[in-house]
Amino acid sequence: MIFRQLFDQVSSTYSYLLASRPGGEALIIDPVLEKVDRYLHLVKELDLTLVKAVDTHLHADHITGLGALRDHTHCITVMGEQTKADVISMRLADGDKLTIEGLALDVIYTPGHTDDSYSFILPDRVFTGDTLLIRGTGRTDFQNGDSRKQYESIFGRLLKLPDATLVYPAHDYKGDTVSTIGEERAYNPRLQVKSVEEYVELMNNLKLANPKMMDVAVPANMKVGLAQEEIARRGWALSAGKAIALLGQPDIALIDLRERSERERHGTIPGSLHVPYPTLQENISAGGMLNELAKSTSKRLLFYCAFGERSAMAVQAAQDAGLASARHIQGGIDAWNKANGPLER
Ligand SMILES: [Fe+2]
């Protein structure tokens, strides 16, 4: 595995770049906007393709690099389903897998620091966000934080992992880089409590000042979505209502860009083809299946995904590949559901 721990000095944030092999797909956890150029450079040097940019939660102390990485690389953005970010490409829930080629991280919901906090687990390590820090825990006094829930996330979930599991947090202010579950259980001062009440009491009396960046970072991190308006302005978007009216017409080819797990959980539009977003480029290039479909038949390609972000990027890519009939469903399955469009499971 390729693994890089990257540091932002201003916010003391750790970001993590992971890939299973040189030349393969990569994902990044908790990227910082100001460091995006550094990440892009490193991804290139390591000969990787960035396919997912993931935030463990909505950050209050720095602006996320998710949107900028998506705009530069056409990777998808990923957060938990509870997040208040306006649009992200893919939302995860407890029990899901966060996958790239050769790697599958277990996704666990660990609320408490915020109500959208998640941790991601590999067999030998866990990325804990701000739920569990090295000799500390994330504050619980804003963004729907809840010290009772955090106690449950830490004691009920994270500390159940094997003692040797490496702990990689989203921040460290003292210069520590990594710990283990066993070490934190034994020596983390916040975890030396006898009951949830004692933990709540401890967290209620921290009296911390708000993060300096909070008033800037939180609103910015809530507006991370791709400007689907630009695709609409070019006439390449259909509302869910218009798309529903086209259902069953022989000249429409509906193309679902989501992952299998998303299709199973949320259902699919009847009669659609499954072309996962990472395989898009080979499919729309000359000789590719969608390229043939669009050019040798009169079918118009109608892309969709979860929230319209992958499909907006797909329309742009298809147009760039000369497939002028390509369109997408603005707002994705989320909008389709709100318009009462039929789904198959
Ligand atoms: Fe945080």
| Tens of pLDDT, residues 89-132 | 999 999 999 999 999 999 999 999 999 999 999 999 999 999 99
- φ/ψ of residue 142, rounded to 5: -155, 180
As a whole-number percent, the residues of the chain with pLDDT over 90 amount to 92
For residue 116, how far is its CA from the centre of ligand 1 (angstroms)?
Answer: 10
Nearest 10 degrees: CA dihedral of 98, 104, 110, 114? -40
Ligand 1 mean position to 279 CA, how many Å? Answer: 33
Ligand 1 centroid – CA 33 distance (Å): 15
Question: How many A from CA of 60 to the centre of ligand 1?
Answer: 6
How many whole angstroms from 75 Cα to the centroid of ligand 1? 23
CA–centroid distance, 95 to ligand 1, in Å, is 22
DSSP string computed for 37-64: HHHHHHHHHTT-EEEEEE-SS--SSS-B
Name the pairing type of β-strands 103-109 and 118-122: antiparallel
Query: In this predicted structure, what is the pLDDT of residue 152?
Result: 98
Most confident of 206-215, 290-299, 317-326: 317-326
What pLDDT, on a 0 to 100 scale, did the predictor assign at position 95?
A: 97
CA of 197 from ligand 1 middle (Å) equals 23
For tokens 């479909």, what's the residue? 293
Strand ranges inside 296-335, DSSP E: 300-304, 327-329
What is the band of 48 on the pLDDT scale with cuts at 50, 70, 90? very high
Reference 57, options 216, 246, 217; nearest CA is 217
Q: How many residues does the chain have?
A: 345
At 228, is the pLDDT very low, low, confident or very high (cuts 50, 70, 90)? confident
CA atoms within 13 A on the CB side of 216: 8
Residue 230 has pLDDT above 80, yes or no: yes
Distance in Å, CA 59 to ligand 1 centroid: 5
Q: What is the pLDDT of residue 87?
A: 87
Is residue 311 over pLDDT 90?
yes
Task: Tell me the Ramachandran region of residue 101: left when phi exceeds 0, alpha when psi lies from -120 to 50, beta otherwise.
Answer: beta
The yes-or-no verdict on residue 227 having pLDDT over 80 is: no
What pLDDT, on the 0 to 100 scale, is given for residue 213? 84
Cβ partners under 8 Å of residue 188, min gap 6: 132, 134, 135, 136, 137
Q: Give the pLDDT band of residue 342 (cuts 50, 70, 90).
A: very high
Whether 226 has a pLDDT exceeding 80, the answer reads no
170 CA → ligand 1 middle, Å: 8
Is residue 12 within 8 A of residue 172, CB to CB? The reply is: yes
Specify the pTM.
0.95
Contact 306, 262 (CB under 8 A): yes
62 C-alpha to ligand 1 centroid (Å): 9
pLDDT of residue 243: 97
Average pLDDT over residues 237-251: 95
Residues 6+ apart with CB under 8 A from 32: 8, 10, 11, 13, 15, 62, 63, 64, 65
β-bridge partners, 53 = 28, 77
For residue 177, report the distance from its CA to the centre of ligand 1, in Å: 17
pLDDT in tens, 273-296: 999 999 999 999 999 999 999 999
Which residue type, as a one-letter code, is found at position 339? Answer: A
Query: What are the pLDDT digits (tens) for 134-169?
Result: 999 999 998 899 999 999 999 999 999 999 999 999
C-alpha 286 – ligand 1 centre gap (Å) = 45
User: Does residue 171 have a pLDDT over 90?
Assistant: yes
Q: How far is the CA of 220 from the centre of ligand 1 (A)?
A: 14
